[in-house]
């Protein structure tokens, strides 16, 4: 048979005090509840005042407990946010690694498109264009300055034809093959181009220096003053280059002879137009027939 629990306090003072306090609290709670019930029934204003007084006492405790609860609730959210942020960061890094080459390629394509549109506009205005081709290489370490064009006699390219890019004049053809041609650049020491200044038509000559720059020399005049930024274009003298093609800009002012930079820089050579000679040379005289 199951033992019967002893409900008597016995001689334990702690149990006696605990039971006594429990009875007192129960009786006090019942009395307070009865008083509140009576007050709410017969004296609502008094009940409202007592309720607000109790709310004023318990409000700080409730606020503290609420703050603690919110703080504890933030902890898992913070942990989840850190985990998700770490995952998103890793995903964004992977996406950036994939899109960075695509962005670089898109920039290159946009750059090529701009230059091709410029060349197409030049070609539409110039009826003397023979072919549009690409400069595949250029010399930059030796004293001579040449470039290789991937078009030759099969495309109608002949020695002496001028070559220009979107920015300005590049040089002229010196040697041709079936599908390739050699271009003498403006900066080569053997290159001489007659030019004129855009603001007043002053004639001058652009001669290559072999170091990437060109010398700008006055023609038939002394003490000619060149200012920084002066622009020079082809004059058409000599019948090789058509007039009005941008050639060079003065870097540092001076008299008679100054250093200038070509508009078409070797490090930006890509697409180029090959044009016919402005004034073609007369055909060679016919060879006399051999006597019988």
Model confidence at 255, in pLDDT bands (50, 70, 90)? confident
When pLDDT is averaged across residues 10-23 and rounded to a whole number, the result is 70
pLDDT of residue 114: 66
Average pLDDT, integer, range 49-72: 66
Q: What is the pLDDT of residues 72-90, one digit of tens each?
A: 666 666 776 667 777 777 7
pLDDT score of 1: 46
Specify which of 82-96, 120-134, 266-280 reaches the highest per-range mean pLDDT. 266-280
Check residues 286 and 174 and name the one with the higher pLDDT.
174
Confidence category of residue 265, pLDDT binned at 50, 70, 90: confident
Q: Delimit the domains of the chain by residue range.
A: 14-125, 130-275
Span 64-74, average pLDDT: 68
Q: What average pLDDT does the structure give for the chain?
A: 77
The pLDDT-based confidence of 49 (bands split at 50, 70, 90) is: low
- Which of 51-65, 127-141, 213-227, 256-270 bottoms out in mean pLDDT, i.e. has the lowest? 51-65
pLDDT at 193: 93
- Are 232 and 138 in contact by the 8 Å Cβ rule? The answer is no
Superfamily (CATH) of domain 130-275: Rod shape-determining protein MreC, domain 1 (2.40.10.340)
Task: Determine which of 19-23, 52-56, 92-96 has the lowest per-residue pLDDT on average.
Answer: 52-56
Among the listed ranges 35-39, 52-56, 72-76, 121-125, which one has the minimum average pLDDT value?
121-125
d(CA 211, CA 20): 110
- Is residue 50's pLDDT more than 80? no
Which pLDDT belongs to residue 250?
A: 93
């Amino acid at each position: 048979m199951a033992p019967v629990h002893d409900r008597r306090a016995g001689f334990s003072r702690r149990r006696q005090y605990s039971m006594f306090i429990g009875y007192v609290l129960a009786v006090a709670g019942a009395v307070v509840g009865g008083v509140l019930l009576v007050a709410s029934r017969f004296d609502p204003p008094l009940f409202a005042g007592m309720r607000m007084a109790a709310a004023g006492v318990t409000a700080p405790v409730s606020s503290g407990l609420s703050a603690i609860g919110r703080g504890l609730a933030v902890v898992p959210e913070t942990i989840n946010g850190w985990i998700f942020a770490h995952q998103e960061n890793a995903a964004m890094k992977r996406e950036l690694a994939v899109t960075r080459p695509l962005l670089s390629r898109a920039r290159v394509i946009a750059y090529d498109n701009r230059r091709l549109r410029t060349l197409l506009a030049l070609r539409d205005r110039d009826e003397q264009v023979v072919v549009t081709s690409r400069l595949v290489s250029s010399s930059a370490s030796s004293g001579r300055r040449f470039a290789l064009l991937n078009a030759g006699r099969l495309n109608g390219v002949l020695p002496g034809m001028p070559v220009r890019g979107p920015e300005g004049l590049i040089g002229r053809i010196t040697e041709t093959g079936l599908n390739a041609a050699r271009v003498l650049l403006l900066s080569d020491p053997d290159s001489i181009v007659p030019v004129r200044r855009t603001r007043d038509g002053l004639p001058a000559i652009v001669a290559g220096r072999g170091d990437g720059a060109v010398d700008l020399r006055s023609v038939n005049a002394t003490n000619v003053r060149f200012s920084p930024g002066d622009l020079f274009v082809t004059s058409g003298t000599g019948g090789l280059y058509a007039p009005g093609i941008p050639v060079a800009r003065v870097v540092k002012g001076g008299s008679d002879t100054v250093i200038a930079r070509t508009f078409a820089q070797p490090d930006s050579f890509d697409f180029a137009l090959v044009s016919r000679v402005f004034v073609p040379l007369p055909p060679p005289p016919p060879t006399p027939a051999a006597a019988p």
